[in-house]
Amino acid sequence: MEAKDLKTELIVIGGSAGSLQVILETIKNLNGDLGFPIVLVLHRKAQAESILPKLLQQFSTIDVIEIEDKTEILNNKIYIVPSDYHLLFESRNVVSLDGSEKMNYSRPSIDVTFRSAAEIFEESVIGVLLSGANSDGVEGLKYIKKNKGQVWIQDPETADVDYMPRQAIQNVKYDLIVRPDNLANYINELK
């Protein structure tokens, strides 16, 4: 992959079934001073209190924060979209939560967040799609690419559930196919 001269201002990572282990392995190996935020959009069951931020924080030296409505997004933080809400970027620094209907049987929808990120961040966003059992994220990746952002897709051969990354590879012009054991390295090398 040729490194773009553009500065990365946001990474959005979407995943479903089989993606949690990839996330844990990745955040464990991230540099603390990335220079941009990471937003995680993971399909999960709605529940009163989420243990996911606490779980991820145990593996990360970077602060892991579950997003609330109107959360200010800061560099060098990892944000998790709460279950049962879509995430929309209002600006480069502020996000909002939306409880509208599910998309691709999911709320949060990876497509919704990827599309919103592409509209705000354009060429300075990277969308990463991981393991999963439906095609959520494919349309969002297309939109990121259309807005000149980068598209990274997990190698389906390494995915616990390969449907989502296979759909993306077949339908989206991508920049990089990543393996779980080198995703953190690629992120750490970004400017």
Catalytic amino acids? 16, 43, 136
**Distances 184 to 26, 32, 81, 88, 133 between C-alpha atoms, Å:** 5, 12, 20, 25, 23
Q: What are phi and psi of 35, to 5 degrees?
A: 90, 5
Q: Which two tokens stand for residue 177?
A: 């196919």
- Cβ-count burial 134-147 (b if 16+ within 10 Å, e if not): bbbbbbbbbbbbeb
In Å, how far from its chain's centre is CA 163?
Answer: 17
**Distances 67 to 8, 19, 25, 140, 165 between C-alpha atoms, Å:** 21, 19, 21, 20, 25
Cα–Cα distance for residue pair 14/24, rounded to 1 Å: 13
